[in-house]
Amino acid sequence: MWSTLITNIKTVLDNVSELSRVYDYNISKIGGFPCAIYQPLAFENTFMTNNENFKEYNFRITIIAETKVKNKRQALIDVLAPTVDAVIAQFDQDWDGGQIDGHRIWYRISGGDWGFDEISQGEILFADINLAIKFADDN
């Protein structure tokens, strides 16, 4: 299931025109801004009955942007927020749930931490997005 989900997330993120690069692994030297880095975080399994349980796969998507604007508020409004909005909208458009391997899928996308880091050329901005993918598993 992990392989399928990693591939599906990459497909959705590749469709976000505001992103220059998408990395499906952690990387120390990033090229191309704004970019997205995503990685698996956790797995949960909740038993509902003897015949049914819910599995949840959790991912973190980090959006990283740079700007020469040193005004943090303006950089947030002009650069980071529109990119984050575009990622969320793309998930809403491309991922209708449906099924994977015969299992009904739901997803929940929610916000995480946002932040800034000053560099001599301007600002590095980041925003974390939490993605939970849940499916029913009938035994």
Greatest Cα pair distance in the chain = 59
Spatial contact of 135 and 102, defined as CB atoms under 8 Å apart: no
Which band of pLDDT confidence, cut at 50, 70 and 90, is reported for residue 24? confident
In this predicted structure, what is the pLDDT of residue 130? 96
Please list the residues that pair with 56 across neighbouring strands. 44, 134
Query: What's phi and psi for 109, nearest 5 deg?
Result: -110, 130
d(CA 133, CA 139): 19
User: Does pLDDT of 50 surpass 80?
Assistant: no
| Higher pLDDT pick, 137 / 116 | 116
